[in-house]
A and B are shown apart, each in its own frame.
Chain A
Amino acid sequence: MSELNQHQYFEQAMLPHLQAAFNLALWLLHNHADAEDAIQEAYLRAFRHFDSFRGGDARVWLLAIVRNVCYTHLQSKKVRVMEEFNEELHGADCHSNPMQAYHHGDPALASLQNADKQSINLAIAQLPTDFREVIVLRELEELSYKEIAKIIGVPIGTVMSRLARARGLLKDALTKEFAPGSS
Chain B
Amino acid sequence: MECSDITKLLHAYIDSELDYTALITVENHLEGCPACQYELQMLSTLQISLRSNADYYPMPLATLQRLQLSIQPQVAKTRSQVSLFKQFIPGLVTAFASVILAFGISHVVLFNHQQEQLAEDVVASHIRSLQAEHITDVASSDQHTVKPWFTGKLNYSPHVVDLTEQGFPLVGGRLDYLKEQPVTALVYRRRQHLINVFIWPYATKAAISETEQTINGYHLYSFIQTGMVYWVISDLNAKELKTLVDILRRPA
Residues of A that sit less than 8 Å from B by CB: 3-4, 7, 10-19, 22-23, 26-27, 35-36, 39-40, 43-44, 47, 96-99, 101-102, 108-109, 112-113, 115-117, 120-121, 124, 135, 138-142, 144-145, 160, 163-164, 167, 170-171, 174
Q: Separation in Å of the A74 CB from the closest CB of chain B? A: 17
**B249 close to A (CB within 8 Å):** no
| Cα of A121 to Cα of B55 in the assembled complex, Å | 7
Are A160 and B12 also in contact (CB < 8 A) when A7-B71, A47-B74 are?
Answer: yes
| Cα of A15 to Cα of B219 in the assembled complex, Å | 12
* 0/1 interface trace, chain B 32-71, chain A, CB 8 Å (1 if under): 0011101101110111011101111111000110111011
A3:B75 contact, CB within 8 angstroms? yes
Residues of chain A with a CB closer than 8 A to B79's CB: 3-4
A115:B49 contact, CB within 8 angstroms? yes
Inter-chain pairs besides A43-B70, A43-B71, A140-B54, 6 sampled, C-beta below 8 Å: A102-B39, A117-B53, A120-B50, A120-B54, A142-B191, A171-B43
B7 interface neighbour in A27, A96, A141, Cβ under 8 Å? A96
Please name 10 pairs of A and B residues whose Cβ atoms are closer than 8 Å in the assembled complex, sorted by A: A11-B68, A11-B71, A18-B59, A40-B67, A96-B4, A98-B35, A102-B35, A109-B42, A121-B53, A167-B46
Are A18 and B45 also in contact (CB < 8 A) when A11-B216, A98-B7, A98-B38 are?
Answer: no
B57:A22 contact, CB within 8 angstroms? yes
Most A C-beta atoms less than 10 A away, residue of B45, B49, B56, B57? B49
B15:A145 contact, CB within 8 angstroms? yes
B78 interface neighbour in A3, A116, A121, A160, Cβ under 8 Å? A3
Residues of B within 8 A of A (CB-CB), count: 47
B38 interface neighbour in A7, A15, A101, Cβ under 8 Å? A101
Residues of chain B with a CB closer than 8 A to A16's CB: 216-218, 235
A170 interface neighbour in B50, B78, B217, Cβ under 8 Å? B50
**B17 close to A (CB within 8 Å):** yes
Closest to A10 in B: B71
Q: Separation in Å of the A14 CB from the closest CB of chain B? A: 8
Nearest 3 Cβ contacts at the A-B interface: A16-B217, A22-B59, A16-B235
Residues of chain B with a CB closer than 8 A to A109's CB: 38, 41-42, 45
B53 interface neighbour in A10, A36, A115, Cβ under 8 Å? A115
B51:A140 contact, CB within 8 angstroms? yes
